[in-house]
Amino acid sequence: MMNEDRSGRRTARSRVATALAVVAMAVAACFPVAAAPTSSPGGTGVASHPVGSQVAAASPSVAAVTIAPTGGLPAAPQVPVASNPPLPSVPVGSIAPTSPQAVPVVVDPAVLERALKTRLDQARAKAGIPGVSVTILWPDGRSWTGTSGLADVGHKLPVTADTGFALASVSKTFTAALVMRLVEQGRLKLTDPVATLLPGRKLDPRITVRMLLDHTSGLADFFRNGTIDPPLQRHKDATWTPDQALSYVGKPAFPPGRGWYYSNTNYLLLGLVVEQVTGRPLADEIRGELLGPLGLHNTWYQSVEPPIVVPAHGYRLVRTSSKLRPIDVTGTSEVVPFRSVVTAAGGAGSIASTSGDAANWIRALGQGEVVAPSTLVEMLKDVAITTRYHARIAYGLGLQAVPVLGRPAIGHSGRFLGFRSVIRYFPNERIAIAVLTNQSGIDPMRIATPLLELALPPLPCPPSCPAHR
């Protein structure tokens, strides 16, 4: 899809936008979900969080487990939810398509950029975030990258457009894209049993590739095992193997295909599936199939590739008398936040990038330039399945589908100890945004939302509004 001509790309964008609208309406009609609370103001309860719980919190609903209502099985025990889940402020049921061609507001670009920068500085200061980088892309070719705060608090080094950040679970979108490209090529099927692809792993033969992608496998999250944190933090510069990480996987949350549970184990295994099918390391596949062809020159697979740009330090936030104090958690290696946790994550969270590359990535994926539009539709279909299982944020095959300011959007969020990020693409408006921060306690949507209020065109006026009277 990456070599498709402009006419083909326009067609792809139209098909993707239409497909997302159809999926969104189906979800709203069949599986309405009540509005979920947003992250609590301040969100400072991360001082005592272990490394694993921060990594696992790369999903807005880390441990939302609900057994399917059919089959008469008892509900699995609830697992504690992360204290700062980036939950949408609008219920999934409110996702509805806007007009295919929203009419943009004519604004002087220079005026808009000044307003965006002012609002970014205000939002960052109010949230107490050490540093942030934001990129917004518009369909007419315009782009804006705004930075605020410090990449290195100790040395008072500011965040720049070239500052890198750990993407954490945003990395899952890359792994999912590789898997879906293999499906397109006929080298893999979504219905393939993972136990056959990865013999010797002692996996339940009922678990399929699709179940790993949409987190319905029931596999426990190795990062949610509290005993993993001491060794991760005790030897931050150690390189973990998949076998080490998988040794911390606990008992299944439910039988395969009978519920939804966000688990990093799924994507660590998917990375191994990619390697098994292609015969190449996951890092090489990501570089050769995605980063190189898309021109994402400031993105790299950590621990395997050296940093392409200087990465920010990562911080956890501790509440002192009247403000948040950032505590540097960065290790001594070039891997951020530190080598042990990144290498343990594997295909679930090993990529680092700039906000510019992250925004270009989600736009390319959302516009059907990475996988075929029909494949992207397939990735979104499972939103209906995971919503039925009461996932607290609608999840497809490696993509979240969420409403933002009343508009459908797709993307992913991510969190490591010391880093938190979000990427979103709006198919109707063809606008992309990436917000990368070097802290793990504050939801980056608190930065994204006020900026999108300025950047997005107004919603169409319904027939009942005064303009139509």
CATH number at 341 reads 3.40.710.10
In angstroms, what CA-CA distances link 254 with 65, 157, 214, 462? 8, 47, 14, 44
In a domain, 326, yes or no: yes
In a domain, 167, yes or no: yes
**What span, in angstroms and rounded, lies between the C-alpha atoms of 406 and 446?**
16
**What span, in angstroms and rounded, lies between the C-alpha atoms of 411 and 396?**
10
**pLDDT level of residue 85 (50, 70, 90 thresholds):** very low
Q: Which whole number is the average pLDDT over 385-390?
A: 94
More confident: 316 or 464: 316
Predicted pLDDT at 58: 40
In a domain, 459, yes or no: no
pLDDT digits (tens, 9 = 90+) for 115-143: 999 999 999 999 999 999 999 999 999 99
**Chain centre distance of CA 201:** 27
Q: Quick check: 209 pLDDT over 50?
A: yes
**What percent of the chain has a predicted confidence (pLDDT) above 70?**
75
Q: Which of 235-244, 276-285, 320-329, 351-360 has the lowest mean pLDDT?
A: 320-329
| Residues ≥6 apart with Cβ < 8 Å to 145 | 133, 134, 135, 161, 355, 356
Q: Quick check: 382 pLDDT over 60?
A: yes
- Enclosing domain of residue 164: 6-453
pLDDT digits (tens, 9 = 90+) for 24-58: 544 443 333 333 333 322 222 222 233 444 444 34
Predicted pLDDT at 255: 98
Q: Which whole number is the average pLDDT over 150-167?
A: 98
Predicted pLDDT at 444: 98
Predicted pLDDT at 22: 53
**pLDDT level of residue 21 (50, 70, 90 thresholds):** low
Predicted pLDDT at 52: 43
In a domain, 67, yes or no: yes
Write down the mean pLDDT value for the chain.
Answer: 83
Q: Quick check: 292 pLDDT over 80?
A: yes
Please give, one letter per residue, the 3-state secondary structure of the chain.
CCCCCHHHHHHHHHHHHHHHHHHHHHHHHHCCCCCCCCCCCCCCCCCCCCHHHHHHCCCCCCCCCCECCCCCCCCCCCCCCCCCCCCCCCCHHHCCCCCCCCCCCCCCHHHHHHHHHHHHHHHHHHHCCCEEEEEEECCCCCEEEEEEEEEECCCCEECCCCCEEECHHHHHHHHHHHHHHHHHCCCCCCCCEHHHHCCCCCCCCCCEHHHHHHCCCCCCCHHHCHHHHHHHHHCCCCCCCHHHHHCCCCCCCCCCCCECCCCHHHHHHHHHHHHHHHCCCHHHHHHHHHHHHHCCCCCEECCCCCCCCCECCCEEEEECCCCEEEEECCCCCCCCCCHHHHHHHHHHCCEEECHHHHHHHHHHHHCCCCCCHHHHHHHHHHHHHHHHCCCCCCECCCCEEEEECCEEEEEEEEEECCEEEEEEEECCCCEEEEEEECECCCCCHHHHHHHHHHHCCCCCCCCCCHHHC
Q: Which of 31-40, 332-341, 354-363 has the lowest mean pLDDT?
A: 31-40
| Residues ≥6 apart with Cβ < 8 Å to 3 | none
In a domain, 458, yes or no: no
Predicted pLDDT at 63: 38
In a domain, 327, yes or no: yes
Domains: count for the chain: 1
Predicted pLDDT at 18: 62
Q: Whole-prediction pTM value?
A: 0.84
**pLDDT level of residue 1 (50, 70, 90 thresholds):** low
More confident: 84 or 198: 198
Compute the residue count for the chain: 469
In a domain, 316, yes or no: yes
In a domain, 63, yes or no: yes
Predicted pLDDT at 392: 82
Query: Edge to edge, what strands does the sheet with 131-137 contain?
Result: 157-158, 143-152, 131-137, 431-437, 419-426, 407-416, 400-404
Q: Quick check: 76 pLDDT over 50?
A: no
**pLDDT level of residue 312 (50, 70, 90 thresholds):** very high
pLDDT digits (tens, 9 = 90+) for 419-457: 999 999 999 999 999 999 999 999 999 999 999 999 999
**pLDDT level of residue 322 (50, 70, 90 thresholds):** confident
Closest by CA position to 414, among listed 169, 174, 213, 176: 169
